[in-house]
Chains A and B, each alone.
Chain A
Amino acid sequence: MSDPVRDEISLPIERNAEVASVNREETAPLLQVRGLKKHFPVAKGWFSRKNEYVRAVDGLDFDVMPGETLGIVGESGCGKSTAGQMIVQLLEPTEGNIVFDGTDLASLSGEQVRRARRDLQLVFQDPYSSLNPRMTVYDLVAEPLIVHGLASGKALKTEVMSLLEAVGLGPQHADRYPHEFSGGQRQRIGIARALALKPKMIVCDEPVSALDVSIQAQVLNLLKDLQEQFDLTYIFIAHGLPSVKHISDRIAVMYLGKIVEIGTREELFASPKHPYTEALLDAVPVPDPRLRRKREPLPGELPSPVNPPSGCAFHPRCPYAQDICRQQTPVLEPKADGQSAACHFPRNMDEAGVTI
């Protein structure tokens, strides 16, 4: 398989830079996820058969357009990281399809999956445990290029140096080891590794959660710059709403393995339709004491994904729940332009179903 763009060594590669303004109807999605599920078996006792399942991800449907950033938010245990790992083929889905760039990833053989991974990279949360402490920065960034046989000798060196430069590190850093770097710099190394294969899509799993505030801003700015420079598509998984809002074009909110709401950043933040989204937005502390207010914190906790509540999984915590919510699982359906929610009684809408 020879791909002229891939074989070009020097950075930056210039692809079509006009993707930011894609027309949805005309452009095919880069990623299509349909009915994606992951159920982990729970062993009961020592010898009994496994007959219970943690429904970590329980039916996801969404598209990601080329050049776009889709944010996935939700609290711990909602399944957002499991979803991300299935997309980059680190976990095998229990059910459902992941179609990337027109190919169903489940249909690929081992070697083909390895090739597909070139286009589909992951940036991990913890820059302390995701870098091999015995490898120098140069070796860490060169590794993916060597493994995929994309460069060697002088070309390899040039490539690694330009990658380091792209993430804001210099040649003076190349011979050092990860422990000599701060968290922010390590995350830059992790990003350089992900960039090395010139992927089309990068799944960022909580890339800034472990970093200090001032450093988070540096990494968020870097991710935005790289997206423009290398024409990248991102899935940005995080629990911190302000950073997700900052970087995403569209946002999916997950609760107990399902998407409860998905929409454009503007719509979702200005007019949340699902009560959980509303509660989540309300719970974020606002860095302005003038906006301090008496809040009604959402009661209770995330239910067990082994025995999710009947009907709408959110009903035990929902202030607006009625009988139908306990019996019937709401489906994710459009509630406004560019915004879908799975709720029988969506918020911020008048009786005619129009957004207020």
Chain B
Amino acid sequence: MSLLEVNELKTYFKTAEGTVPSVNGVSFSVEAGETLAIVGESGCGKSVTSLSIMQLVSDPGEIVGGEVRFEGKDLLKLPKKEMRKYRGNEISMIFQEPMSSLNPVFTIGNQVGEVLRRHKGLSRGEAKQQAIEMLKRVGIPRAEQIANNFPHQLSGGMRQRVMIAIALACRPKLLIADEPTTALDVTIQAQILDLIGKLSEEENTGVILITHDLGVVAEMADRVVVMYAGEVVEEAPVYELFERPGHPYTIGLMGSLPKMNEQRDRLDSIPGAVPNLLDMPPGCPFHPRCPFAIEACTQTKPALEEQQPGHYVRCLRAGEVG
């Protein structure tokens, strides 16, 4: 049994212009101690997927189908009150923007301690003591002092460390990190990635790392899911994906990266832009931008099929391309 199993998850947003299928039948699994990266560009549904797992999708968004099995139990069937016992306790989340996800009017110590009071029933004093311990573990200097500070008194990197301390305070089995380092500078990013890697290894935590940065994927992930227009287009172990990308979109993404260890005159950009989810092209959603598209791609929607053991590709020409 996997730690987390997402099956055919569908999250739709009902807007005045029509229904937006942000997450359209997404399936994947995460094992304990494993880091699964979900990659894709803005609007591909990677963040909505993570919010759906946590059941934090707000109106007009709605989970309309599928299963989110955590240790075998379908979380989508749980009553709201039951779900609260999982959120922040068994499964927790780090967001991209550490400033807007911390409450500006409470001290750092109070906010880290809150999850412990709530889920572990600790007293105020005990919670504060453990909060300080947690702040030390995530590498915050002068933790006793910082615990009494407010979020605005800390730098972006320090705030993200506080978020990680909150997320890991109850020793969750699954950590969802949604673009945890996108707002940070590279040297601070290196510190934070290092920290997430180290802590998840120590506690055997499963990690879902959501990012648009293939560099971060290559450094952190064990397995990778590539999303495009609300669907999984490729899934593979990390070495396999970088050595033999199978979907034309993945190939395009890799070609469009300027690399540190080589110099090219031009980058292989992917032409066009992500399609409007309200007005999806027929057939494969990627075909208008795909250099390998053939007539059939404009009509037939490809299925996600296993090409190699553990390597799945959603492409009619999988095997021919790549």
Contact = CB atoms under 8 A, between A and B. Distances in A.
B308 interface: no
Contacts of B206: none
B42 A212 contact: yes
Interface in B246-271: 252-261, 263-271
Interface string A181-209: 01111000000000000000000000000
A202 B253 CA distance: 28
B192 to A, nearest CB: 9
Contacts of B263: 245-246, 265
B29 interface: no
Nearest to A208: B258
A216 B190 contact: no
Contacts, number: 130
Contacts of A24: none
A279 B187 contact: yes
B41 interface: yes
A75 interface: yes
Interface string B146-159: 00000000011110
Contacts of B86: none
A291 to B, nearest CB: 8
B280 to A, nearest CB: 16
A217 B254 contact: no
B204 interface: no
Interface stretch (A45-53, A54-62, A112-120, A293-301): A293-301
Contacts of A75: 185-188
A76 interface: yes
B8 interface: no
B270 A283 contact: no
A264 B213 CA distance: 26
Contacts of A215: 41, 269, 273
Interface stretch (A84-92, A139-147, A170-178, A236-244): A236-244
Contacts of B28: none
B238 to A, nearest CB: 5
B213 A285 contact: yes
B266 A241 contact: no
B273 A182 contact: yes
B238 A286 contact: no
B186 A287 contact: no
B82 to A, nearest CB: 38
Contact of B253 (A214, A241, A245, A280): A214
Contacts of B212: 212-213
A287 B273 contact: no
Given A283-B189, A285-B216, A288-B218, A245 B269 contact: no
A298 B190 contact: yes
A245 B257 CA distance: 12
A289 B245 CA distance: 13
Contact of B258 (A220, A285, A292): A220
A128 interface: no
A326 interface: no
Contacts of A221: 266-267, 269
A184 B158 CA distance: 32
B270 A287 contact: no
Contact of A297 (B191, B214, B258, B265): B191
Contact of B267 (A182, A184, A217, A265): A217
A180 to B, nearest CB: 11
Contacts of B191: 297-299
A288 to B, nearest CB: 6
A255 to B, nearest CB: 11
A282 B189 CA distance: 12
B292 interface: no
A285 B219 contact: yes
Given A286-B218, A289-B242, A214 B186 contact: no
Contacts of A212: 41-42, 212, 274
B239 interface: yes
Nearest to A73: B186
A282 to B, nearest CB: 8
B259 A297 contact: no
A215 to B, nearest CB: 7
Contacts of B269: 214-215, 217-218, 221
B68 interface: no
B193 interface: yes
Contacts of B253: 213-214
A216 B270 CA distance: 10
B217 interface: yes
Q: Which has the most chain A C-beta neighbours within 10 Å: B252, B253, B255, B269?
A: B269
Interface of B: 41-42, 155-158, 185-191, 193-194, 212-219, 221, 238-239, 242, 252-261, 263-271, 273-274
Interface of A: 75-76, 182-185, 212-218, 220-221, 224, 239, 241-243, 245-246, 265, 269, 279-292, 295, 297-299, 301-302
12 contacts: A75-B188, A76-B185, A214-B252, A214-B269, A221-B269, A241-B260, A242-B259, A246-B258, A286-B219, A287-B242, A287-B257, A295-B190
Given A280-B187, A291-B218, 15 more contacts: A75-B187, A212-B41, A212-B212, A214-B256, A217-B269, A220-B267, A224-B265, A246-B267, A265-B263, A281-B260, A285-B218, A286-B261, A287-B215, A287-B217, A297-B194
